[in-house]
Structure 1
Amino acid sequence: MKKLISLLLISTFFVFSCKKEAISNNSLAGNWQWVMSTGGIAGKTFTPVSEGYERNLTFTYDSKYLNSKNNITQKSGKFEIIKAKSIYKTELIDFIKFDDGTMSAILSQTSEELILANNNYDGFTETFKRKN
């Protein structure tokens, strides 16, 4: 019985100590180049080649963003990282909340790739790669 209790305590410790690293303004900071968008009711995929334009997202350390298309600013302002309920997971996940009230769910972020999504069932998922 003591072994079982010890095993449960150790297992509990490992489960609660293994937390995903929080996404921050620092980890998002930089230039992100659009690779593709997929989704919608028809499940379409769009790329820079298929659409004939490039898109970039730039995030700064001081919580500012710039969204551009063919190097022309489409939208800019301030952003923040928040936790919110999503359709993708049962627990709260990270979102980018823009100053115009729109939000993008952060499905995945590595040092080289960022995957954002609309938080609705027929929405789009957008993949970006870090641009140097």
Structure 2
Amino acid sequence: MKNFLLVASAILLCSITACNKGNLPGPGSNSIIGKWRWVKSVGGIGGFTVTPQSSGRTFRNEFNADSSFKRFQNDTLLISGNFRTIKDYKYSPTQTVDILSISGPALDTRPVSYLIRHDSLYLNDIYIADGYNEVYVRMK
């Protein structure tokens, strides 16, 4: 579970898009700015699926327009730091992805790819073959 928290934290900390405070995104936006509720994580060596129901934990990630990041577990602040995003990162000779990177005191995070579709945020490990892929929904 400790590895799951580290991977989940790293993934969340690795992405942001440029946005100003006066123009916060609404539903259906492709901006990462806002609050995101964890739905599930899938992966690991065994291909496990972990949900709030199966783990007994909830997670919420907050990406702010000033590039600050906060992660809450069961409504208690778990980690905080800063994030940045890189658009169209050339991951391989034939593939580009958008990258999310999160940093802060005592954080050892790896960049993750992110994709926003409708009101869902998908975070995927790109440098770990058996890492976790996470799904979040935008909180209204």
**Distance (whole Å) between structure 2 residues aligned to residue 55 and residue 110 of structure 1:** 20
Following superposition, the deviation at residue 93 of structure 1 comes to 1.1
TM-score by length of 2: 0.70
Higher relative contact order (CA 8 A, sep 6+): 2
Decide whether aligned partners of structure 1 residues 80 and 121 sit closer, same or farther in structure 2, where only a CA change above 3 A counts: same
Report if aligned partners of 1:86, 1:105 keep a CA contact under 8 Å in 2.
Answer: no
The equivalent residue for 1:128 is: 136
The equivalent residue for 1:116 is: 123
Report if aligned partners of 1:32, 1:58 keep a CA contact under 8 Å in 2.
Answer: yes
Q: Which of these residues, 60, 70, 88, is aligned with residue 64 of structure 2? A: 60
The structure carrying a bigger helix percent of its residues is 1
The residue type equivalent to 1:37 in the other structure is S
The equivalent residue for 1:51 is: 55
Stretches of structure 1 lacking an aligned partner (at least 5 in a row):
1-22
Segments of 4+ moved more than 3 angstroms:
83-87
Equivalenced residue count is 108
**Distance (whole Å) between structure 2 residues aligned to residue 79 and residue 96 of structure 1:** 7
Stretches of structure 2 lacking an aligned partner (at least 5 in a row):
1-15, 20-30
Higher Cα radius of gyration = 1
- Percent identity of the aligned residues? 32
Query: Residue by residue, what CA displacement relative to the aligned partner does 1:93-132 show, whole Å, maximum 9, x if unpaired?
Result: 11111114522211x2024100001121100000000011
